[in-house]
């Protein structure tokens, strides 16, 4: 479900895990879980997804964060 280097500590991991176990999420938790899921568990690192046409983009936890060297 997650990349060991980045995914386990990324925003949305525990929320997605909570959802997968059948528990209810708050609106914020649901947004974090969806971003985590959509970004593939942040397997490449915790960076901006750059999907500006996504309705949740304004709430993306790593919005504006770029990989080092960019």
**pLDDT reading at 6 higher than 70:** no
Contact 13, 36 (CB under 8 A): yes
Determine the average pLDDT of the residues in 27-56: 93
Q: What are phi and psi of 36, to 5 degrees?
A: -60, -45
Predicted TM-score (pTM) of the model is: 0.83
Please list, in sequence order, all residues whose beta carbon lies within 8 angstroms of the beta carbon of residue 29, skipping any fewer than 6 positions away.
Answer: 15, 18, 19
Q: Is 7 exposed, middle or buried (0-12, 13-18, 19+ CB in 10 A)?
A: buried
Q: Calculate the average pLDDT of the chain.
A: 89
Rounded to whole angstroms, how far apart are CA atoms 25 and 54? 20
Q: Tokens at residue 10, please? A: 């990324």
Q: How confident is the model at residue 20 (pLDDT cuts 50, 70, 90)?
A: very high
Predicted local confidence at residue 4, as pLDDT: 59
Q: Is the pLDDT of residue 70 over 80?
A: no
């Amino acid at each position: 479900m997650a990349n060991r280097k980045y995914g386990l500590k990324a925003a949305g991991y525990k929320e997605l895990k909570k959802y997968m176990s059948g528990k209810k999420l708050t609106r914020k938790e649901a947004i974090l879980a969806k971003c985590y899921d959509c970004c593939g568990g942040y397997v490449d690192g915790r960076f901006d997804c750059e999907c500006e046409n996504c309705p949740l983009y304004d709430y993306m936890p790593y919005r504006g964060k770029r990989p080092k060297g960019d």
